[in-house]
A and B are shown apart, each in its own frame.
Chain A
Amino acid sequence: DQQVKQNSPSLSVQEGRISILNCDYTNSMFDYFLWYKKYPAEGPTFLISISSIKDKNEDGRFTVFLNKSAKHLSLHIVPSQPGDSAVYFCAAIIRGGKLIFGQGTELSVKP
């Protein structure tokens, strides 16, 4: 049972345009959501997080939106840069419990 799902395995975007990465979850008990960026053979690097009591969090070029009624969150990267090319994972935490990841979306930003 996949509680955190990233249904798009890959995304290709032109440099300067917006990248939108999507994530769906099934468990309404999740109280925190996080986005990570990962390069091959390295550990994931934290990007941005959002509490379940908020619907938006912004940090520079990265904005995360949370729609609790739809159990959906998205990461917007504006403007996209070639250095953003990596695999992006969304993750969710249940208070006092697991940190669960989605399958990842490979973003390719073309010059």
Chain B
Amino acid sequence: DGGITQSPKYLFRKEGQNVTLSCEQNLNHDAMYWYRQDPGQGLRLIYYSQIVNDFQKGDIAEGYSVSREKKESFPLTVTSAQKNPTAFYLCASSIRSSRLLGGNTEAFFGQGTRLTVV
């Protein structure tokens, strides 16, 4: 079955440590995205990638880094520079939007990773 997988579901880290969240998809999607959700708030875009070896900052990229060495994988590193890292992190993938016009599309989400920094 095709899908998008985030791991782990729960993650605990000490303050000051970097931590990497995994996101893998086998949907052959070009585009991948990382979002953060805080209580009572919407989904805020951290980084996105439209193609392998290329990625762009979203609205709240500070303190985060990503890589896109393979089409299937888009790991997110939460660095010690991120001032408030405790949150629910969501990864998504979609067909590259330049191919979408006139057809149906959707973006698939993983189940999320809840990161708690103590």
Contact = CB atoms under 8 A, between A and B. Distances in A.
B92 to A, nearest CB: 7
Interface in B61-118: 88, 90, 92, 94, 96-98, 100-112, 114
Contact of A43 (B45, B104, B109): B109
A44 B96 contact: no
B25 interface: no
How large, as a class, is the contact surface on chain A? 20 to 34
A46 B41 contact: no
Given A31-B101, A44-B90, A96 B96 contact: yes
Interface residues of B, number: 34
A5 to B, nearest CB: 10
Nearest to A87: B42
Given A99-B33, A104-B42, A42 B97 contact: no
A-B residue pairs, 3 tightest by C-beta: A43-B109, A103-B42, A46-B106
